[in-house]
Structure 1
Amino acid sequence: MAGLKIRLLLIVSIFLSVVNAGKTVFIDPHDPWQVFEGWGTSLCWWANAFGGFPDVVRNQAADLVFDFNKGLGLNVIRYNIGGGDNPSHHHMRIGGDVPGFRPCNNCDYNWTSDANQRWILFAAKDRGADVFEAFSNSPPYWMTYSNCSSGGRNSTNNLNPSYYDAYADYLTEVVKWYKEQEITFRTLEPFNEPTTGLWHELGLLNTTTVSFADEGLFEGEIATISAIDTFDAFNKNVKLYVSQYNTHAYSGIQRSLLHLIAKQNGKRLWMSEWGSWSSKNMSASIKLSEEILKDMRKLKPVAWVYWQIIEHAPNGNDGNDYGLIGADFSNSTIPLDIRLSFYGFAQYTKFIRPGYQIISSNDDDTLAAQDASNKTLVLVCTNKNNAPDTWSINVSKFNISSFNVYRTSNDNETLKLLPNTWSITNGILIYESPANSITTLVFNVTQ
């Protein structure tokens, strides 16, 4: 029996040593990747609701989303140019019926329209947002075959060709008007006819350029169109009018190929939309972090945009919406529900700031970045396992004077600044990462 007990103890100790073997992470500042220009969000559909709420409520929301000190500090804004739906229709989701600026073919532009979303747009600018893109989900309903701005039939083109020029004029007139209001959209994502010559006529060529194509997946499947398909379909002359490639990240694996296509064509690349279900535990945060890691490390976009930061969740339906913050769009007195995934996102947005250089790390669960002065090194490390893990982080290429550690986890930690009980020995930091946690390490670097 004694021999059996010894063998069992030996097996257990070997097993535990394997489980807790951890990982070794090497950070290389001499292998620079993309220079990052920011984290962002789309304003539809939540801004159409929140912009009309009382000041105290809409200011709280704007602070949480855009203010660096009070919230996420998002600086990349995608503003939705509403098409305006047929007034005889009442089937849009709450917040989704974004007003248009020209309600009929013979109507003048109504620049008082879309006041709610516009309030949030300017609130974002006031809090530091500095990269603006305009995009359209649909032409005005009266330009469509379906006579409705919620989509066409059988996935066919819903824009009547006789309105191609009118639609291009509609989008550019809106962008021009906002420029006069001191909001300059750097890019316009029109979905259709992105190479219209109206840019020259309206004097927007030097301030606003075209982006496309906001496809939902990287590579195609049977009977689907993908980002790669769309980018490949346009000839060289068309691509001359385009400054930026946009892609959503909901499906596909060809991130590196899409990065190469953008690089070869000399285009700025954005991950312009991704979102996923919320949850009351760390599962949504881990999924969000894994998506950011895959995109930032393989796709290498210069901006990463979450779909809808605030979602309509009237019954606290955490888990049935994409929001990092839950709210009741029909009742401004219901308190905001700040989800754990809000803090998971903040582990990135608060520390990897616009202008930071993403640099090489040899671990898929780590994102590394350095500020332009090379005085700050940031590592975001994700333990997606259901057990603690030991990380051996090699920062020997840096002359580090001090560092802070922030963590979000299931243990009531929400972007918590931890007591610094770790040290760096011979360039190596040994860090014990709790199960299902996201940790951000911020190092002060001396030259």
Structure 2
Amino acid sequence: MTFLAIRILLALVMANTLPVLSWAQNQKPLVITVNRKKQAQTMDNFGAAGCWYAEGIGKHWPTAKKEKIAELLFSQKLDAQGNPRGIGLSAWRFNIGGGTAEQGDKSGIIDVNRRVEGFLQDDGTYNWNKQIGYTWFLQKAKSYGVEKLIAFSNTPPVQYTQNGLGFKTVKDFKANLKPDKYEAYADFLTEVLLHYQKQGLGFDYISPVNEPQWDWMGKVGEAKQEGSPWRNFEISRVVKALDVALQQKSLISQIILPEAAKLTFLYGDTTQTSQQVQAFFKKNSSDYLGNLNHLPKLVVGHSYFTDEGDQATVAIRQQVADTTQKYGVQFWQSEYSMLADGFREGTKARRSAMDCGLFLAKMIHQDLTVANASAWQFWNGFEPGKPDFDTRYYLIALQPNANHTNGGFQPTKNLWALGHYSLFIRPGMHRLLLNRQDHLSAVEAAQKVMVSAYAHAAGKLVVVAINYETQAQNLQLDVKNLKKGTTYKRYVTTATPDENLKAYPMGKVTQPVALPPRSITTLVINE
């Protein structure tokens, strides 16, 4: 083939005018049948948390830098070349602090950046000039049109805890809340919600407990963060008090619970903080909460430590789906990052940014398609780190100065991997049930090509395809009752540095789509 012929072929490939792109010209396409009438769960949101480092960035960093970080997280706009400016999150998680920052070193939390200011003062009054950095990101989320704002608390205010600290110092698994302060804690949370509502920043959801299964114990001076255990009956008590306080103050925020530390605690285990679907939504349970005005039929859990091997990953999520369906509740995945080593997939070598992004996309896919999650949220939006290898904990890698008043930052492949879902799958869209021509199970597909589809009532159809293989693959969509000549827009992320949700020319839905090796592709179809 001559040099000119090669250039012509490449031009045709980039224009997507060939039936099958040259990356995969010898591959038979995977045929996916899509029927809009076969709907699964309704999507509520895709989000991330802005915990800890939001304070320094929002309060101190130069305007241009923090504005760019906000754009990366929240923008739904495209640049002049049609590439997304950000990942268009539809939810943002705001941490209501316990007041450990004011305690300084006496807080017992070793990392100053993980101490969080508290609105409640020792004299019982409120200081609304706290958490200014956190509030800046909340305001930016609202200004970009983020649909759902979520407030969560890791600990009650230190004024109400049993030991006067934001973490436990006794390993008894009891809530670190004084027995006579349940109503006071509920009042505190609703006062915070009421304040922000008056600022035009009303919270759609409030989460009063977080990862109640862990003991959150530490030695003073060695603790890592705020936290408290909660037994199921303690959760039930605080949620009932919170429901009353919300009603009294005419707040419309809904309560989400229990932010289970692992998905397995939602349906299994034998501790006093386990089988939480049954505990809170089985009608004869002593901790039943299914009749409260401000509590939706919804359980919220974290996907940490449930990602070790494809078979176990799928089995756990199938259990979540079976249990939530049995008790008539929805499921949200509200925190995940690669805390455990499942993302290494059997190797001890460093994992590239794209390896991490692909694994993250796979976890999102399994939570949505197997566990039927109607919301998916990442922990954490930004943390100190590098963008090239083992990007386990963050969407944006920070390189802050010593006192976190300035620094550098880079988006990671994790950001764009989440963006393949968050930017295009908007609240109210339905996940669709698909038919694979190859009939692979969820476990079998997890090392090959994973596909999911979502539809909007107005006609928009979104398909996300993860090619986990090292060879290019072809995808052929068979969309029922599709208008003749319908086209799609395609966005692709690969290991190539500048291929991050990169926009490609439109193509016809009737033609196969080339999926590059180790890539994520989103197709947006508008009739």
Fold match, TM over 0.5? Answer: yes
One of 477, 480, 483 as aligned partner of 1:393? 477
Unpaired runs of at least 5, structure 2: 1-23, 78-84, 210-234, 307-312, 344-350, 437-441, 443-449
One of 66, 90, 100 as aligned partner of 2:118? 100
TM-superposed CA distance for 1:352, in Å, is 1.7
One of 103, 112, 126 as aligned partner of 1:109? 126
One of 272, 287, 290 as aligned partner of 1:239? 290
C-alpha separation in 2, matches of 1:43 and 1:226: 27
Aligned amino acid, residue 190 of structure 1: P
C-alpha separation in 2, matches of 1:74 and 1:33: 22
TM-superposed CA distance for 1:119, in Å, is 1.2
C-alpha separation in 2, matches of 1:319 and 1:27: 35
C-alpha separation in 1, matches of 2:387 and 2:170: 34
- Equivalent in the alignment of 2:16: none
- Equivalent in the alignment of 1:275: 337
Alignment partner of 1:166 is 2:252? no
Residues 93, 249 of structure 1: alpha-carbon distance in 2 compared, 3 angstrom cutoff? same
- Equivalent in the alignment of 2:302: 248
Q: 2:194, 2:251 within 8 Å by CA — same for their partners in 1?
A: no
TM-superposed CA distance for 1:123, in Å, is 1.2
**Which shifted more, 286-295 or 328-337?**
328-337
- Equivalent in the alignment of 1:9: none
C-alpha separation in 2, matches of 1:222 and 1:360: 31
C-alpha separation in 2, matches of 1:131 and 1:372: 20
**Pairwise mapping of residues 40-439 of structure 1 onto structure 2 (< 5 A)?**
40-52=47-59, 53-69=61-77, 70-85=85-100, 86-87=103-104, 88-89=106-107, 91-104=109-122, 106-154=123-171, 156-157=173-174, 158-191=176-209, 192=235, 193-196=238-241, 199-200=244-245, 203-205=248-250, 207-220=252-265, 229-234=275-280, 236=283, 237-241=288-292, 242-243=295-296, 244-250=298-304, 251=306, 253-263=315-325, 265-276=327-338, 280-313=352-385, 318-319=389-390, 321-329=392-400, 330-363=403-436, 364=442, 365-374=450-459, 376-399=460-483, 400-412=485-497, 413-420=499-506, 423-425=508-510, 429-439=511-521
- Equivalent in the alignment of 1:27: 34
Q: 1:143, 1:167 within 8 Å by CA — same for their partners in 2?
A: yes
- Equivalent in the alignment of 1:10: none
C-alpha separation in 1, matches of 2:363 and 2:120: 38
TM-superposed CA distance for 1:331, in Å, is 4.4
Residues 225, 350 of structure 1: alpha-carbon distance in 2 compared, 3 angstrom cutoff? farther
**Which shifted more, 194-203 or 363-372?**
194-203
Residues 424, 77 of structure 1: alpha-carbon distance in 2 compared, 3 angstrom cutoff? closer
Q: Deviations over 1:90-113 (max 9, x none)?
A: 534353211011143x33211111
C-alpha separation in 2, matches of 1:423 and 1:350: 22
Residues 317, 283 of structure 1: alpha-carbon distance in 2 compared, 3 angstrom cutoff? closer
TM-superposed CA distance for 1:224, in Å, is 6.0
Q: 1:219, 1:226 within 8 Å by CA — same for their partners in 2?
A: no
**Which shifted more, 316-325 or 68-77?**
316-325
- Between the aligned residues of both structures, percent identity stands at 25
C-alpha separation in 1, matches of 2:145 and 2:419: 16
C-alpha separation in 2, matches of 1:318 and 1:283: 9
Q: 2:36, 2:480 within 8 Å by CA — same for their partners in 1?
A: no
SS across alignment from 1:207: coil
Q: 1:46, 1:308 within 8 Å by CA — same for their partners in 2?
A: no
Q: 2:48, 2:380 within 8 Å by CA — same for their partners in 1?
A: yes
Unpaired runs of at least 5, structure 1: 1-16
**Which shifted more, 288-297 or 247-256?**
247-256
Q: 1:27, 1:360 within 8 Å by CA — same for their partners in 2?
A: yes
Two-structure CA RMSD over aligned residues (Å): 2.8
Q: 1:356, 1:371 within 8 Å by CA — same for their partners in 2?
A: yes
C-alpha separation in 1, matches of 2:182 and 2:509: 62
TM-superposed CA distance for 1:265, in Å, is 4.7
Q: Paired residues, what number? A: 420
C-alpha separation in 2, matches of 1:300 and 1:257: 11
SS across alignment from 1:214: strand
- Equivalent in the alignment of 1:7: none
Residues 152, 383 of structure 1: alpha-carbon distance in 2 compared, 3 angstrom cutoff? farther
Aligned amino acid, residue 142 of structure 2: K
Q: 1:387, 1:436 within 8 Å by CA — same for their partners in 2?
A: yes
C-alpha separation in 1, matches of 2:242 and 2:108: 36
Residues 149, 32 of structure 1: alpha-carbon distance in 2 compared, 3 angstrom cutoff? same
Q: 2:487, 2:509 within 8 Å by CA — same for their partners in 1?
A: no
Aligned amino acid, residue 337 of structure 2: G
Residues 36, 67 of structure 1: alpha-carbon distance in 2 compared, 3 angstrom cutoff? same
Q: 1:406, 1:439 within 8 Å by CA — same for their partners in 2?
A: yes
C-alpha separation in 2, matches of 1:91 and 1:116: 20
TM-score for both structures, normalised by structure 2: 0.73
